[in-house]
Structure 1
Amino acid sequence: MARELKEVQGIIFKRQKYKEADLLAKIMTKENGIITLIVRGALKPKSKLGAATLNFSYGNYVIYTSGHGLSNLRTYKEVRQFDGLYNNLTKNAYASFILDLIDHAFLEYQNLGKYYTLALYAIKKINAGVDPEMITQIVQMQLLAAYGVEPQLKQCVICGKSQGIFDYSIKRGGILCSDHFRVENSRMHLKPKQTAVLRTIGLLPIERLGSIKVSDDTKKATRKAIDRIYRDTIDLNLKTKKFLDELKMFN
């Protein structure tokens, strides 16, 4: 495929040194997916390209690309940083984990569709000071579908009931109504409120979630449940998750 100049809009989220003064930077875009850019001379002092490709930079980038493999960054327009993330270790850790999670769900250059909107919304909210733990849980529940394990949250996986008291079953891949609690030993034994939170954050469009008010106890329980769902169905081993967990131990 011939190379062409293309303008993409996206978020820079991962950098590593490449040759002496160059770096590789990953950018998450909507239509063009996740692209790895070679940024020439980025590590030289006063490099404008280097400054425009700091982690959590967001804007328009002009790239030279063939639609596969490495692309070259040529220039940029209207780039700004999410300073609230860049200057705060905890926010940085949550945002890095979210983008890493999305990165592992898609191939390079695969259209992200609604998940780009999800990522951008999450980053903006965390940057603005909204509870990063709750935003991260929302992303994790909504991202399960991208990993091919979308849970049934609308109705009981056994009988289809949509109203009442529910628990969650990883084995069944969704919620169970109380009619089946005694016969299904794979359920997680969550409190009704905890299951309700998982349903809400998994089903509602993220822009309609607003500022969810959840108690610390419920938040810890849903965090534990989501971690278990991921561990038992996807089995990812992300460094960003390990770092985030270690950071939370000291906070």
Structure 2
Amino acid sequence: MLYRVEGIVIRSMDYGEGNKIITLCTEQYGKVGVLARGAKKIKSRHAALTQLFTYGEYVFFRQNNGLGTLNSGEIIESHSSLREDLYLAAYASYACELLDRTLQDEEVGSFWFTQLKACLSGLSLGKDPQIVMNLFEMKVLQAAGYGPSFTSCISCGKTEESVYVSPRLGGKLCSSCRHHDPAALKVSPQAIKLLALFEKMDLRRLGNVEVKTTTKAELKTVMRAFMDMQLGLKLKSLSFLDQLDKYEI
């Protein structure tokens, strides 16, 4: 059967002497694996279509939900700027690997596709990469069924202001319920407000925001704790991103 879909390349690997196998995140069919014959060759018409982060229209032949074979395609957005900048490439790689490891094969991918598309666009447009990524992490947690709650106490439901967050229990704790998790993180009111905003916001609506360095550090700590506790994924791209952060000036 011949398919024509819009997709984003979230994984690309060499196969044989001159071929590549790419994994596409698509809106209609979730994750799809496609073989691009001859794509490793410099003059291949498929070479550009198989690069990481490329958003395009792909036409491929596929039988019985197996590996597809690329027939033709057209690039909609190459996202070349993400591949040319080491830091942006690291953030984009993390986003793609996170989605790849979280999204199951053949799982309907409309939400995943739109949020990844918005994430890569935000990085390309120069929005704060950490804020973009923290919001993307929030959307991944929500789509995977582990979305935290920061609008009310996860234990009693009170909406009073609080500075305690429990990654283990899945959200904010009021001062009266903090004893349910002695290991709960204490964060600033500014960080709590941003986390509550991330909980409700679609990534496509994120504008250019300026966040204090100290608040960004809190957001990173909180979101990392939630990702580790709820998903527990060991991602090579995240390890590399952490190494880059250590040398950032």
State the TM-score, normalized to the length of structure 1. 0.92
Tell me how far apart the structure 1 counterparts of residues 192 and 245 of structure 2 sit (CA, whole Å). 23
TM superposition shift of 1:163: 4.0
Contact 1:84–1:128, Cα closer than 8 Å, also in 2: no
Correspondence 1:20-169 to 2 at 5 A: 20-66=17-63, 68-169=65-166
Tell me how far apart the structure 2 counterparts of residues 34 and 210 of structure 1 sit (CA, whole Å). 28
Correspondence 1:224-243 to 2 at 5 A: 224-243=221-240
Identity in percent: 27
Amino acid at match of 2:31: I
TM superposition shift of 1:44: 1.9
TM superposition shift of 1:123: 0.3
- The match for 2:199 among 199, 202, 208 is 202
Tell me how far apart the structure 1 counterparts of residues 201 and 52 of structure 2 sit (CA, whole Å). 29
Tell me how far apart the structure 2 counterparts of residues 114 and 45 of structure 1 sit (CA, whole Å). 35
TM superposition shift of 1:27: 1.2
Superposition RMSD on alpha carbons, in Å?
A: 1.7
Contact 2:163–2:186, Cα closer than 8 Å, also in 1: no
Q: 1:227 to 1:184 in 2, by over 3 A?
A: closer
Range 178-187 or range 189-198, more displaced: 178-187
Amino acid at match of 1:156: C
Could you say which residue in structure 1 is the equivalent of 2:172? Answer: 175
Greater relative contact order (Cα 8 A, min sep 6): structure 1 or 2? 2
Could you say which residue in structure 1 is the equivalent of 2:14? Answer: 17
Tell me how far apart the structure 2 counterparts of residues 156 and 129 of structure 1 sit (CA, whole Å). 35
Contact 2:153–2:172, Cα closer than 8 Å, also in 1: yes
Tell me how far apart the structure 1 counterparts of residues 109 and 91 of structure 2 sit (CA, whole Å). 20
Tell me how far apart the structure 1 counterparts of residues 59 and 234 of structure 2 sit (CA, whole Å). 33
Contact 1:167–1:192, Cα closer than 8 Å, also in 2: no
Tell me how far apart the structure 2 counterparts of residues 197 and 107 of structure 1 sit (CA, whole Å). 29
Range 130-139 or range 146-155, more displaced: 146-155
Q: Secondary structure of 1:48's partner?
A: coil
Unaligned runs of 5+ in 2: none
Range 171-180 or range 98-107, more displaced: 171-180
Amino acid at match of 2:227: Y
Could you say which residue in structure 2 is the equivalent of 1:221? Answer: 218
Alignment deviations for residues 108-156 of structure 1 (CA, whole Å, 9 cap, x no partner):
2211122211110110010111111110000111211233322223311
Amino acid at match of 1:30: E
Contact 1:5–1:64, Cα closer than 8 Å, also in 2: yes
State the TM-score, normalized to the length of structure 2. 0.93
The size of the alignment, in residue pairs, is 248
Range 135-144 or range 171-180, more displaced: 171-180
Unaligned runs of 5+ in 1: none
Range 39-48 or range 208-217, more displaced: 208-217
